[in-house]
């Protein structure tokens, strides 16, 4: 088999996978948690050992592996074979048997006894261990205790191998098979056979479609109740991907019927059983019976409960005289607040929770700076965050205080999922400021409020007409719409922002009016309308704008760093938010 060229690494389709088999000479690396491994394999037709990267529940030198995948060129380690499928079997050659037994995989057998056993029983050694373990006493140094240890370890390895073969024969890829084995252990085969759809619930990275494929191979009928019940959660997850936390029951049944091709009566019974088991929740919203995934229903309830508690509380910094504090802040910052901004500052100083909302150019940033200037002077500990790194960086620049992404603030825990910060380990702050709150989804807001100390206050800042959350829910819009939380609405466009046609046109669109598409005669606009006849034409013009028009407009060179370009943009628009500038 000739070695493929590095260009073969560009192939990714399943039909382009190549077979590869050989003897494992060395296990360079193996992670027992997820099965990831790097192997050195002796392959017929290759002068040198082949580096293979893949997943295996357990692997040892001497084992014979069968794999399929594709070649790729690693920039540091050269050519290697990335296996999408990997199956290992006990070796059949004397050399392989000796390596395998001496690898330490089977407890009670090391290199010395591995060599002795291979020489004593040859290729029949595995049959002897499995069916005639008492014969092992024929090898000098092996007694009853070691025999018991060897037979027990061999049985464990046999179970692992049987599980992997079972899963792979039913269409489960190697890496997923390893995760299934790690989750269910020796019970994997009966559990998966009984209900393959539990995989979508129990194992991260396995969805309904994968479980459905396994179920089909196991002969489970398409209209079975077990499939219908799993399909209820699947349909709800499809709704979640479109931003919904739940669906009216009639809409859920319609969607599930389209996705699963199962009769409505069967699905209605499936919903009833899922509710009874607690997998989903039924609740009434605006006089309609709606069905929710359990975790999203709880998250929404938690947000409501914690915001209600905040509304009823008093801020930890006590009473601050806004009549004195606001003029002091204006002098400190060298600004003059509008009447609506002063009212909002006073409301923030007296409230334990406040929403600040408004379109672009209405002074939300100036308002937040004023509030923070007053409170930090009083010794209030502040934590600032935003959903994205870019938004957090902008918040830091405008306030002069450290701001982090929500996930970094809550300290993401990749090993266990979720966050390290929570009710048991709350944030160390007296005020939490969340910018661009419109992008925060329901689970993330629940996590934020859960980590907020009981004595701390919250300031939620955002524009409901800006980007919505990628995940489920519309937290900011719902909080404002509830009328249960104090809201400061800013609507006055300030002089500097009013010079931006992007800001003006954004407000025109929000008011239901067409944007002004004409280019001013004096030029120098930050808003241009570029017509495109079709998507391909649009893509070409976007490239032209980024590569030619923006650099030409702001005198930026292709080799300049982000800070240099940002400085030129700031100079062009007097410090206006460059993120809203268009070519």
Question: Alpha-carbon distance 314 to 406, whole Å?
Answer: 25
**544 vs 440: CA distance, rounded Å:** 33
**Residue 541 annotated among the catalytic residues of the structure:** no
Q: Tokens 């407009």 — which residue?
A: 553
SS (HEC) of 396-465? HHHHCCCEEEHHHHHCECCCCCCECCCCCCCCCCCEEEECCHHHCCHHHHHHHHHHCCCCCEEEEEECCC
Q: Which candidate, 546, 565, 544, places its Cα nearest to that of 556?
A: 565
Residue 73, φ and ψ in degrees, nearest 5: -105, 110
Query: Cβ distance 440 to 387 under 8 Å?
Result: yes
CA–CA gap between residue 495 and residue 482 (Å, rounded):
32
Residue 169 bridge partners (DSSP): none
Tokens of 375: 């409170």
Distance, CA of 463 to CA of 54 (rounded, Å): 46
Q: Do the beta carbons of residue 467 and residue 580 sit within 8 Å? A: no
Q: What CA–CA distance (Å, rounded) separates 460 from 452?
A: 13
**Lookup: tokens for 467:** 């980007």
Residue 181 tokens read as 């084995």
Pairing assessment for the beta strands 18-30 and 36-42 based on DSSP bridges: antiparallel
Residue 127 burial (10 A CB sphere; 0-12, 13-18, 19+): exposed
Supply 279's token pair: 């997998």
Query: Which helix (H) or strand (E) is 39 found in, with range?
Result: strand 36-42
Gap between the Cα atoms of 43 and 121, Å rounded = 26
Tokens of 536: 């391909």
Q: At 432, is the secondary structure helix, strand, or coil?
A: strand
Find all residues with CB under 8 Å of 149, minimum gap 6, and list them: 107, 108
Catalytic residue among 3, 42, 116, 332: 116
Residues in the chain: 583
Q: How far apart are CA 501 and CA 425, in angstroms?
A: 46
> CA-to-CA distance for 441 and 406, rounded, in angstroms?
11
Distance CA 225, CA 262 (A): 10
| CA atoms of 69 and 20, how far apart (whole Å) | 8
Distance between CA atoms of 409 and 400, rounded to whole angstroms? 17
Classify the C-alpha dihedral 158-160-166-169 as positive or negative.
negative
Q: What is the three-state SS of 75-122?
A: CCCEEEEEEEEEEEECCCCHHHHHHHHCCCCCCCCCHHHHHHHHHHHH
Catalytic annotation, residues: 116
């Amino acid at each position: 088999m000739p070695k493929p060229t590095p260009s073969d690494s560009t192939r990714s389709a399943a039909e382009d996978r190549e077979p590869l088999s050989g003897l494992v000479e060395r296990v360079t690396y193996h992670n027992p948690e997820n099965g990831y491994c790097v192997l050195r394999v002796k392959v017929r037709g290759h002068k040198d050992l082949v580096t293979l990267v893949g997943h295996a529940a357990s692997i040892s030198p001497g084992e014979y592996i069968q794999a399929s995948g594709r070649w790729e060129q690693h920039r540091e380690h050269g050519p290697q074979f990335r296996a999408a499928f990997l199956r290992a079997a006990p070796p059949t050659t004397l050399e392989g048997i000796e390596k395998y037994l001496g690898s330490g995989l089977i407890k009670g057998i090391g290199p010395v006894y591995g060599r002795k056993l291979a020489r004593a029983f040859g290729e029949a050694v595995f049959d002897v261990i499995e069916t005639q373990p008492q014969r092992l006493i024929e090898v000098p140094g092996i007694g009853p205790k070691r025999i018991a240890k060897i037979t027990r370890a061999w049985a464990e390895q046999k179970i692992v191998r049987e599980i992997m073969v079972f899963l792979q024969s039913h269409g489960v890829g190697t890496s997923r098979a390893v995760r299934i084995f790690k989750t269910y252990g020796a019970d994997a085969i009966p559990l998966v056979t009984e209900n393959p759809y539990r995989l979508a619930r129990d194992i991260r990275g396995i969805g309904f479609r994968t479980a459905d494929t396994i179920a089909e191979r196991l002969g489970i009928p398409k209209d079975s109740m077990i499939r219908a019940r799993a399909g209820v959660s699947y349909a709800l997850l499809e709704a979640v991907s479109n931003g919904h936390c739940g669906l009216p029951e009639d809409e859920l049944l319609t969607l599930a019927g389209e996705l699963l091709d199962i009769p409505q009566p069967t699905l209605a019974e499936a919903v009833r059983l899922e509710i009874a088991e607690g997998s989903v929740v039924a609740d009434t919203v605006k006089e309609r019976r709606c069905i929710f995934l359990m975790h999203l229903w709880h998250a929404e309830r938690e947000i409501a409960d914690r915001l209600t508690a905040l509304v009823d509380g008093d801020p930890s910094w006590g009473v601050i005289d806004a009549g004195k504090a606001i003029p002091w802040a204006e002098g400190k910052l060298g600004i003059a607040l509008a009447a609506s901004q002063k009212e909002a500052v006073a409301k923030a100083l007296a409230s334990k929770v406040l929403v600040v909302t408004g379109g672009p150019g209405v002074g939300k940033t100036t308002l937040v700076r004023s509030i923070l200037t007053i409170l930090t002077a009083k010794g209030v500990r502040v934590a600032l965050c935003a959903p994205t790194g870019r938004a957090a960086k902008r918040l830091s620049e405008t306030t002069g205080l450290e701001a982090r992404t929500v996930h970094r603030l809550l300290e993401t825990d990749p090993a266990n999922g979720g966050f390290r910060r929570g009710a048991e380990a709350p944030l160390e702050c007296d005020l939490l400021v969340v910018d661009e709150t419109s992008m925060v989804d329901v689970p993330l807001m629940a996590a934020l409020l859960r980590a907020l100390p009981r004595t701390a206050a919250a300031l939620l800042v955002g524009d409901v007409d800006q980007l919505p959350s990628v995940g489920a829910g519309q937290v900011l819009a719902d909080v404002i719409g509830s009328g249960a939380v104090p809201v400061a609405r800013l609507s006055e466009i300030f002089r500097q922002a009013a010079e931006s046609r992007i800001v003006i046109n954004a407000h025109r669109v929000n008011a239901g009016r067409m944007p002004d598409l004409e280019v001013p005669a004096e030029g120098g606009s930050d808003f241009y309308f570029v017509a495109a006849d079709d998507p391909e034409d649009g893509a070409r013009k976007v490239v032209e704008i980024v590569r030619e028009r923006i650099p030409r407009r702001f005198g930026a060179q292709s080799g300049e760093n982000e800070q240099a370009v940002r400085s030129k943009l700031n100079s062009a628009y007097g410090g206006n938010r460059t993120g809203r500038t268009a070519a």
